[in-house]
Amino acid sequence: MRRLWGKNLIFLGVMATAVIVAFQNCSKGFEVLPDNAALNLSSLSSSNSQEKVKRLSNSEINNSLNYILGDTTAPATKSLPANAMAPFDNDVLSQQVSTPLIEGIEQLAIDVSKRLLADTTRRNQVLGCVGASVNDRICMTSIVNKFSLLFFRRQQPATDLAAWIDLGLSQAAANQNFYDGVDTVLRLFIMHPRFTYRIESDSDINLSYARAERLAFLIWGSTPDSALLSLAAQDLLKTAEQVKAKASDMLKKSNALQRVQQFHAEWLSYERLGHATNVAASLKSEADAMVEKVLFTDQRPWTDIFSMNQTYIDNTVAEIYGLPSLRAPTWTGFPSSRRGILSTGAFLSAGAKFGDTSPTQRGKFIRERLLCQRIPPPPPSVDADVPPPPSTEMSGPDCKKKRYLSHSVQGSSCIGCHAQMDPIGFGLEQYDVVGRFRSFEKLSDGSDNTSCPIDGAGSLLEVGAFNGPADLTTRLISSGTLHSCMMKQYFHFVFGRTVSVADDGLISSTANQLQTGARFSDVILSIVGSQQFLNP
């Protein structure tokens, strides 16, 4: 034990020295970007302008079609190319136009309309009228008026409405089927860029519609509902107070919870876990439940998701955490070594490489996602894709920590960046790729390699030495660094773009709110009442 502790002191000493040198080196050779710098590569090649044209993400299309037409099949997930996660699915600079996208949108429109029209009950309920004849102009007019508003989120010019009514009726007449005309109109609306894009034109005659659209996609990740559009039609979203009152009301809907769960899952990278299906689902359910409890059920300070000592687990997660088996999912106390969402298997799944945890990748992930810093890519001469030798070939001196020391040789080009990452990852090293506790490295047959104990000692320059996720969480919260980054990430999600200097004031004020115990709803109301939101 004494020998182990001695080794740790040596390791931490070397790393601590390295960290100090690191910032000197990194600030010269490999610059750590300032806090408000872009977080994704795409932004490096583009200005951080306020884009006014944003394509709906696949999840936003799914949610919108669910609300407008009652289509619950998540058709965009099936038919459209997957969104790039940068790290959010709505990052405007990561959106690519392509042939598969356009063909996919057309096929989606065909499928969605066909499903609706084939289900007479849903069709009549959704459309709101029944075509009495092939040339039922009244019903077609009603359909065009209703759905052009729902799909395009704004009142449309009379000339356009008339053209679409004529198109629907002419198609109905051509095929002697009223619903063939309806099919044409619905497909047109689904395919139209006025639906698939949020286009904030300066020619918007009524700012309330633009605000309704922003509110709906921020809070629900979906299109404005009829009530919201009605407010917009009456121009009742003119003042900040009106907007905040409506936002407060919108938070009571269940899709508000789903939206903020999506934010956490994309931010902390557990939206698409690469584990076995049941393990991935169980881990995500646990994290989702924590978000729900803190933000909605108990309405506690938002940052309590990091400090809560309870969690919601099923038998799969119980087995991972070494807890007694369960018959049904339940809330239970965390083991003392765990605390908050950074202790969950969902979060600890991040940063795996070559089938094992990577202290480097975990450290990089924490710097990027929790501290909003960006570690530059390795220098060209470094091949970061070469896996370590199989563990069967490892002996005591080649334990992981010893091997990683080679990153920190004074004078080497590696030290600059690795010293900012590896010590963080080693502080979480006692938790494997699904968050299971371990005391030893594993041999290739899965048994403990007793020559290689894992001590879990790590450090992060901004918070000092720590051991394990609970300790890291405590220190991150008390340092205050987490709050600012959390808001930057949320702003990226809210606006679908990386944050800019213009956002600094609002980020700072909402981060201060978080530090003083603000709830999620408090933050939302601050954002929607801000000038950035009202008049971007």
Partner 1 sequence: MAIKPMNRRAFLRGVGTIGIALPTLEIMLEEKAFAQATGPRRFGIFFCGQSLGADNDRRNFFVPPNAGLNYTTSVGLTPLQTRNVKSDVSVVSGLYIPTGLGAGMRGPDFHPFSYWPMLNGTSNWTGTPQSEGSVIGEGADQIIGRTFGTGTKFATINYQGQPHFYGNGDFNGRDVISFKKNSNGSISRVVNQVSPQAAFISLFGTFTPLGGGPVDPKVQAELVKRRSILDSILNDRDKLLRQLGSSDQQRLTQHLDEIRDLEKRIVASTPSSANSACIKPKDPGADPAKDLSARYSNEKARNLIFMDLIHMAFACDLTRAATMMLTTAQCHMSAKSIDSAFAGVDSGCEPHEIGHNARGAPQQAPTGTPVSITNPNIAASDRNSYVMSLIHAWHVDQFAYLVQKMKATPDGTKTLLDNSALILCFEGGHGRLLNTATDSDKLIGTHSTENMAMLVAGRAGGLMPGKHIIKTGIHPAQVTISAMKAVGYSGSSLGQVQGDVPELFKA
The residues pairing with 259 across neighbouring beta strands, listed in sequence order, are none
Q: Which two tokens stand for residue 120?
A: 């007479």
Residue number with CB closer to partner 1 (27 or 226): 27
Rounded Cα distance, 498 and 94, in Å: 11
DSSP secondary structure string, 450-500? EEEE---EEEETTTEEEEHHHHHHHHHHHHSHHHHHHHHHHHHHHHTS---
As beta bridge partners, residue 382 has none
Task: Please state the closest distance from residue 348 (CB atom) to partner 1, in A.
Answer: 14
Binding site for partner 1 (CB under 8 A): 41, 44, 46-47, 49, 51-53, 55, 79, 81, 84-85, 95-104, 106-107, 160, 163-164, 167, 171, 174-175, 180, 183-184, 187-188, 191-194, 197, 199, 201-203, 272, 274-277, 280, 351-355, 361, 376-377, 379-381, 383, 385-387, 389-390
User: Alpha helices of 153-273 — where are they, by DSSP H?
Assistant: 158-175, 178-191, 193-196, 207-219, 226-233, 240-250, 254-267
Least distance in Å: CB of 199 to partner 1? Answer: 7
Nearest-approach distance from CB 193 to partner 1, in angstroms? 6
Residues paired with 437 in a beta bridge: 431
Q: Toward partner 1, which CB reaches closer, 353 or 436?
A: 353
Closest to partner 1 by CB, 31 or 298: 31
Q: Which two tokens stand for residue 455?
A: 């001590």
Q: Of 241 and 385, which has the nearer Cβ to partner 1?
A: 385
Shortest separation between residue 396's beta carbon and partner 1, angstroms: 21
Closest contact distance (angstroms) between CB of 157 and partner 1 is 9
CB of 83 to partner 1, least distance (A): 9
Burial of 30 (0-12, 13-18, 19+ CB in 10 A): middle
H or E element, residue 6: helix 2-28
Residues 155, 233: Cα–Cα separation, whole Å: 8
Q: Which of 328, 386 has the CB closer to partner 1? A: 386
Toward partner 1, which CB reaches closer, 59 or 481? 59
Type of residue found at 4: L
Angle at which helix 99-118 crosses helix 58-69, to 10 degrees, equals 20
Q: Please state, in angstroms and rounded to a whole number, the distance separating the CA atoms of residues 510 and 526.
A: 7
Nearer Cβ to partner 1 (164/490): 164
Find out whether 311 and 287 touch, Cβ atoms under 8 Å. Answer: no
Residue among 202 and 241 whose Cβ is closer to partner 1: 202
* Shortest reach from residue 429's CB to partner 1, in Å: 18
Report d(CA 374, CA 492) in Å as an integer. Answer: 15
Q: How far is the CB of 90 from partner 1 (least distance, A)?
A: 14
CA-to-CA distance for 420 and 418, rounded, in angstroms? 5
The DSSP bridge pattern shows strands 356-357 and 440-442 to be unpaired
How deeply is 247 buried, as exposed, middle or buried, from its count of CB atoms within 10 A (0-12, 13-18, 19+)?
buried
Cβ closest to partner 1, residue 24 vs residue 201:
201
**Closest approach of Cβ 108 to partner 1, in Å?**
10
Closest CA to 154 of 197, 108, 125: 197
By C-alpha distance, which of 370, 413, 464 is closest to 26?
413
The distance of closest approach from Cβ of residue 78 to partner 1 in the complex, given in angstroms and rounded to an integer, is 9
* Minimum distance of partner 1 from residue 92's CB (angstroms): 8
227/384 with CB nearer partner 1: 384
Judge contact between 122 and 186, C-beta under 8 A: no
Measured from the CB atom, the residue of 30 and 462 that comes closer to partner 1 is 30
CB of 492 to partner 1, least distance (A): 16
Q: In this structure, what are the phi and psi dihedrals at residue 386, rounded to the nearest 5 degrees?
A: -90, 115
Here the tokens at position 36 are 């408000």
Q: Which is nearer to partner 1, 292 or 356 (by Cβ)?
A: 356
Q: Closest approach of Cβ 350 to partner 1, in Å?
A: 9
Tokens in use for 119? 């289900």
Token pair listed for 500 = 């800019």
DSSP E strand boundaries for 215-372: 310-313, 330-333, 352-353, 356-357
| Choice between 384 and 409, CB closer to partner 1 | 384
- End-to-end Cα spacing for the chain: 59
User: How wide is the angle at C-alpha 50 spanned by C-alphas 45 and 51, nearest 5°?
Assistant: 75
